[in-house]
Amino acid sequence: MAIRIVRIPALSDNYIWLVHEPDSGETIVVDPSEAEPVLAEADRAGWRIGAIWNTHWHPDHTGGNAAIKAAHGATVIAPAAEAARIPTADHLVGEGDRVALGAVEAVVMETPAHTAGHISFHLPAEQALFCGDTMFAMGCGRLFEGSAEQMHAALGRFAALPPETRVYCAHEYTLSNARYARHAEPDNDAIVERLETVERAREAGEATVPTTIALERATNPFLRAATAEQLAQRRAAKDSFRG
């Protein structure tokens, strides 16, 4: 049976992903910024959270670790390169490591740029990607600890995943990203169309995430950047864009 992925909105614009594998009954949570809504959702579903998967150390991705560990005895799986900044970590992982969710396997991809040790979790059999703050729908993370070269490499790896792969990013930034995308690529009809779809969805209070690799290949100006230099230029432009 396919895994179930529940989107839990948290803080002002975070998404926490609660993932359940029905055959084994195992449940994990990706990037819990806070514990309360996660524990409430798990209670409602009758799921015990066995593990927490962190993509990077930022508090809006790890803030719920301690309380979820205390409540469910969960094991925290975190990037080895950020161990010192995630004191709740139990199991450290890096490029190519495999993490099990029941019968389903996640492969760890090192995707540094937003933070120096940022990782993503790819579930090939489920065609799902949890990419934290590396890529967003129509956008990418800010370059706090890494370079445009690193971000270009990470997004290039995402672009090479099967197009139907669903992408579970950690923030609802799509409207702002879509407005910048239209500015960056004014002749891209797919971007103009998606901007309209996103505007309608946000007016109705609906989420625009998950996205897919196919959609990002058509409409994400950062993933579409031909070179690291172009990505750097677009990232700097977006940082100050008021659209």
Taking the complex as a whole, the smallest distance from the CB of residue 164 to Fe ion amounts, in Å, to 26
For position 31 contacting Fe ion by CB under 5 A, the verdict is no
Is the separation of the CB atoms in 8 and 36 below 8 Å? no
Residue 20: active-site member: no
CB 143 within 8 A of CB 151: yes
Contacted entry of Fe ion, Zn ion, none for residue 97, CB cut-off 5 to 8 Å set by kind:
none
**Catalytic (active site) residue 133:** yes
The catalytically annotated residue of 31, 72, 122, 133 is 133
Question: Least Å distance between CB 75 and Fe ion?
Answer: 22
Query: What is the side-by-side order of every strand in the sheet holding 166-169?
Result: 98-101, 104-110, 119-123, 128-132, 166-169, 211-212
Using CB under 5 A as the binding rule, whether residue 133 contacts Fe ion is answered as yes
Residue 119 CB, shortest distance to Fe ion, in Å, is 14
The region of 22-30, 115-123, 125-133, 210-218 touching Fe ion under the rule CB under 5 A is 125-133
* 187: annotated active-site residue: no
Helix (H) / strand (E) element for 128: namely strand 128-132
Tell me which residue of 114, 150, 118, 124 sits closest to 239, measured CA to CA: 114
Q: Kindly write out the interface string for residues 44-63 of this chain, putting x where it contacts Fe ion by CB under 5 A and - elsewhere.
A: ----------------x---
Between 58 and 235, name the residue whose CB sits nearer to Zn ion.
58
Peptide bond just before 210 cis, omega within 30 deg: yes
3-state secondary structure of 141: coil
Residue 229 beta carbon to Zn ion: minimum distance, rounded to whole angstroms: 24
Active-site residue (options: 20, 72, 152, 171): 171
Q: Look up 13 and say whether it is catalytic.
A: no
Is 171 marked active-site?
Answer: yes
Instruction: Give me the residue label for tokens 């055959």.
Output: 23
> Which of 20, 31, 61, 97 is an active site residue?
61
* Closer CB to Fe ion, 28 or 131, in the complex: 131
Separation CA 76–CA 227 (nearest Å):
36
Binding residues vs Zn ion (CB under 5 A): 58, 133
Dist. CA 40–CA 54, nearest whole Å: 20
Closer to Fe ion at the Cβ: 27 or 55?
A: 55
Q: Which tokens go with 32?
A: 């819990």
21 binds, among Fe ion, Zn ion, none (CB under 5 to 8 A by kind): none
Return the residue matching tokens 């946000």. Answer: 202
- For the record, the structure tokens of 142 come out as 């800010």
The alpha carbon dihedral of 21, 22, 28, 31 has a sign of positive
Measured from the CB atom, the residue of 218 and 220 that comes closer to Fe ion is: 220
- Known catalytic residues? 56, 58, 60-61, 114, 133, 171
Interface residue list for Fe ion (CB under 5 A): 60, 133
